[in-house]
Amino acid sequence: MTPTTDETAVEAANTAFYEALENGDFETLSDLWLADGTPVTCVHPGWPVLTGRGEVLRSYALIMANTEYIQFFLTDLRISPAGDTALVTCTENILSGGPAEDGDDLGPLVGQLVVATNVFRRTPDGWRLWSHHASPVLAETTGPDTGEPAPDDAGPPL
Amino acid sequence: MTPTTDETAVEAANTAFYEALENGDFETLSDLWLADGTPVTCVHPGWPVLTGRGEVLRSYALIMANTEYIQFFLTDLRISPAGDTALVTCTENILSGGPAEDGDDLGPLVGQLVVATNVFRRTPDGWRLWSHHASPVLAETTGPDTGEPAPDDAGPPL
């Protein structure tokens, strides 16, 4: 299907979000988060919920300070606008490295498999992030009976 | 602040969602998910993204079949309606047990700390779930310099 105008615009905002992270561009990242007074929320993989622009943006400043290199390969991108809100889900195949500890330019690179739900709101200035929730995919085994993924180590999966 | 009518209604829908899970009430759970053609999405802790009512509801049928007992103690509940969408974040303090394997009534109980972002849409029949994303909280240490949570074992937290 041909994407709608909304889908194209939301995809551009979503791409800009990950590019800002890759570029360590804090200002662009800040501009992409909703600033109309609606409280924004953010969950980094393994973290508790962060609420409000102050808390969310501080977490990104901290992450950027501790990340020398990061690249996102997005797959399974799905965009679903409804009215003034749009829901985006994607798989973030992440390759990243922290600062080196012993004189090298870069610390060891680490690969991570993360899934994200990003919620955007329509504003006069374009689509802006209302919520980002990212979480580690802990296993990708497939249950023999159901075809559903059935991670062994995730506990009761609710 | 006194909650608005929307906040009260969204909280009731969110409570009903967790009660349906506690009661193993698949029919009520199904009714709580959006059924207007907008694709719903769901991420269980450690799982990849599930998309569409069929995939999402099958996962709950599977989970219910493998869960003998489950109870949710919700904390940090925050409700933020905007137009016809509402964002809910909460901490799910989960106590659960699978079927016993050796003649006992119930397997060992397991505690889990999970955070969730739930997105609801307003419909003529009330607020319905559009997206549920739940993820394990892997650590709750607090960074000494920033006051931000800084899990050691979560990798680069994006």
Per mean pLDDT, which range of A64-78, A94-108, B26-40, B86-100 is the poorest? A94-108
**What mean pLDDT is predicted for residues B108-121?**
96
Residues A14-58: pLDDT tens digits?
A: 999 999 999 999 999 999 999 999 999 999 999 999 999 999 999
Does residue A66 lie within any of the structural domains?
A: yes
Does residue B150 lie within any of the structural domains?
A: no
Total domains present in chain A: 1
* Residue A146 to residue B66, Cβ atoms within 8 A: no
* Residue B78 to residue A150, Cβ atoms within 8 A: no
pLDDT at A28: 98
Residues of B in contact with A130 (CB under 8 A): 82, 87
* Residue B117 to residue A131, Cβ atoms within 8 A: yes
Whether B142 shows a pLDDT value over 60: the answer reads no
| Residue-wise DSSP of chain B | -PPPHHHHHHHHHHHHHHHHHHHT-HHHHHHHB--SSSPPEEE-TT---EESHHHHHHHHHHHHHT-SEEEEEEEEEEEEEETTEEEEEEEEEEEEE---SSS-SS--EEEEEEEEEEEEEEETTEEEEEEEEEEE-----B-TTTSSB--STT-S--
Does residue A96 lie within any of the structural domains?
A: yes
pLDDT at A33: 98
CATH code (residue A105): 3.10.450.50
Does residue B143 lie within any of the structural domains?
A: no
Domain limits at A84? 5-136
Confirm or reject contact between B138 and chain A (CB < 8 A).
yes
The CB density around residue A137, as the number of other CB atoms within 10 Å, is: 20
Confirm or reject contact between A121 and chain B (CB < 8 A).
yes
Confirm or reject contact between B35 and chain A (CB < 8 A).
no
Confirm or reject contact between A43 and chain B (CB < 8 A).
yes
Residues A84-95: pLDDT tens digits?
A: 999 999 999 999
Does residue A149 lie within any of the structural domains?
A: no
Does residue A129 lie within any of the structural domains?
A: yes
pLDDT at B1: 67
The beta-carbon neighbor of B47 closest among A82, A121, A151 is: A151
Does residue A157 lie within any of the structural domains?
A: no
- Per-residue confidence band for B130, with pLDDT thresholds at 50, 70 and 90: very high
The beta-carbon neighbor of A84 closest among B38, B45, B83 is: B83
- Per-residue confidence band for B153, with pLDDT thresholds at 50, 70 and 90: very low
Does residue A153 lie within any of the structural domains?
A: no
